[in-house]
């Protein structure tokens, strides 16, 4: 509190003029407004601001401002702590209702207007904004991938050192059998559910652990790249190469792309801790997180799509030529989307400017 006693001056004045009210008189005069604001705030908290009548909403903000003034007055007049606490609680609750940001509340890119369109454009824009981190993530995944693949092709024993043999054998058997007979629909659904839970979970963890100087993301990328390469190499050396290619080509671009993008977002997060530039580390971290969060959502959506493709399409009994050409087309589409979509888009650019996201990696 202030060092000077505001009450002293008031008391001196009071011998001649009307002074501050006593606490009791003050509370007595204002209680009706407080109760009204209290009931409005409780209604808004419980059922939402939208359920209030227009005239109630119109009342809300003047009542809130009056309570703010009452709080200031109560503190200046040194009213007792419980009264000040009560007014603080009331003001805080009303503040939370009035300053809630309903517009754009569910937006992940901070955009205005059509949320879906902004998202669709903001995602590839964010990826391109962080191309350094994305390139690094790409290398961290695909260098171990090809290393694992080539090492296993050279010596199938290599895969056994990366992935337990107990996991490799059933895979080989499954791919040897092929997909000509298709799979029961129920099993398709089970596998799609598994891919959602497992793959999206891995991508999210891969992003989150990037916080530790990018080390967590790097670990997930290298580990997944190496084991994926080793598994593919192992299946190829056991004579089911055609089948596994036909299987993975449909969803591979979505699935591997999403892991790389999520890992890249994690690397960007980690880099902001390593080299925060002219901000504090926490500020740099928050700014980067704001900028990359749309990538994580995009990656999650890609993985949901991949799970559907992997569960229901890749395992179907369609001819290999159809699967391969559709898979190839998907690859081109995904690349084109990431590289080209949202260039010169006003909606997404506006959204980014509103968020204070500038071009830096």
Partner 1 sequence: MAPAAALDTDVAIETPEHIVFRHKVAGPSRRFLAYLLDLVICYTAFTVVAFFVVLASIGVSAATDSAESALAAGVGLLLVVLFAIQWVYFAVLEAWVGRTPGKAALGLRVVSTTGRPIGFRAAALRNVLRAADALPLTYTAGLLSLAGFASMATTKKFQRLGDLVAGTIVVVPERASVAAPLVLWPPAQPFELAQLPDDVRLDADERQAIELFLRRRARLGRGREMELASMIAGPLAERFGLRLPDPSRVLALLYDRAANAGRVDAPPSSRTPGSWR
d(CA 164, CA 171): 12
Looking at the chain, how many residues does it have?
361
**From candidates 297, 313, 331, 337, binder to partner 1 by CB under 8 A:** 297
**From candidates 36, 88, 223, 316, binder to partner 1 by CB under 8 A:** 88
By CB under 8 A, tell whether 170 contacts partner 1: no
Which residues from 33-52 bind partner 1, rule CB under 8 A? Answer: 34
Structure token digits, residue 42: 């409780």
**From candidates 6, 19, 36, 318, binder to partner 1 by CB under 8 A:** 19
**From candidates 21, 43, 57, 59, binder to partner 1 by CB under 8 A:** 21
Which residues from 104-133 bind partner 1, rule CB under 8 A? Answer: 104-108, 110
**What is the end-to-end Cα distance of the chain in Å, rounded?**
45
Structure token digits, residue 5: 């006693």
By CB under 8 A, tell whether 332 contacts partner 1: no
Q: Could you count the other beta carbons within 10 Å of the beta carbon of residue 190?
A: 13
If DSSP codes are grouped into helix, strand and coil, which group holds residue 61? helix
Structure token digits, residue 341: 């979509």
Which residues from 226-285 bind partner 1, rule CB under 8 A? Answer: 269, 282, 285
Half-sphere exposure of 63 (CA within 13 A, CB side): 26
Q: Binding string, 209-228, against partner 1, x = CB under 8 A?
A: x-xx---x------------
Of the candidates 164, 133, 144, the one whose C-alpha atom is nearest the C-alpha of residue 273 is 133
Q: Shortest gap between Cβ of 75 and partner 1 (angstroms)?
A: 8
Structure token digits, residue 207: 């992003």
232 versus 292: smaller Cβ distance to partner 1: 292
By CB under 8 A, tell whether 204 contacts partner 1: yes
8 Å CB contact between 129 and 359: yes
**From candidates 58, 135, 187, 322, binder to partner 1 by CB under 8 A:** 187
Q: Shortest gap between Cβ of 252 and partner 1 (angstroms)?
A: 21
């Amino acid at each position: 509190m202030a060092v000077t006693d505001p009450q002293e001056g008031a008391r001196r004045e009071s011998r001649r003029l009307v002074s501050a009210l006593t606490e009791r008189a003050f509370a007595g005069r204002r209680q009706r407004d407080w109760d009204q604001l209290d009931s409005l705030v409780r209604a808004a908290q419980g059922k939402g601001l939208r359920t209030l009548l227009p005239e109630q909403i119109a009342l809300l903000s003047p009542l809130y401002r009056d309570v703010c003034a009452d709080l200031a007055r109560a503190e200046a007049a040194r009213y007792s702590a419980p009264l000040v606490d009560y007014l603080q609680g009331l003001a805080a609750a009303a503040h939370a209702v009035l300053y809630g940001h309903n517009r754009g509340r569910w937006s992940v890119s901070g955009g205005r207007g059509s949320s879906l369109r902004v998202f669709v454009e903001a995602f590839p824009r964010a990826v391109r904004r962080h191309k350094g981190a994305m390139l690094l993530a790409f290398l961290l995944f695909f260098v171990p991938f090809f290393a694992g693949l080539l090492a296993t092709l050279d010596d199938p024993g290599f895969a056994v050192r990366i992935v337990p043999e107990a996991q490799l054998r059933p895979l080989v058997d499954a791919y040897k059998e092929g997909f000509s007979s298709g799979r029961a629909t129920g099993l398709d659904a089970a596998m799609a559910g598994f891919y959602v839970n497992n793959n999206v979970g891995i991508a999210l963890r891969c992003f989150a652990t990037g916080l530790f100087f990018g080390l967590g993301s790097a670990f997930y990328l290298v580990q997944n790249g190496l084991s994926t390469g080793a598994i593919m190499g192992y299946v190829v050396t056991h004579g089911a190469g055609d089948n596994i290619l036909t299987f993975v080509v449909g969803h591979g671009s979505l699935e591997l792309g999403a892991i790389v993008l999520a890992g890249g977002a994690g690397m960007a997060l980690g880099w902001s801790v390593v080299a925060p530039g002219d901000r504090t580390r926490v500020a740099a971290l928050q700014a980067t997180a704001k900028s990359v969060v749309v990538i994580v959502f995009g990656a999650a959506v890609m993985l949901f799509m991949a799970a559907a493709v992997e569960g229901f399409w890749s395992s179907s009994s369609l001819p290999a030529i159809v699967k391969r050409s559709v898979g190839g087309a998907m690859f081109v589409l995904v690349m084109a989307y990431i590289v080209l979509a949202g260039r010169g888009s006003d909606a997404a650019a506006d959204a980014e400017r509103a968020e204070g996201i500038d071009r830096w990696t």
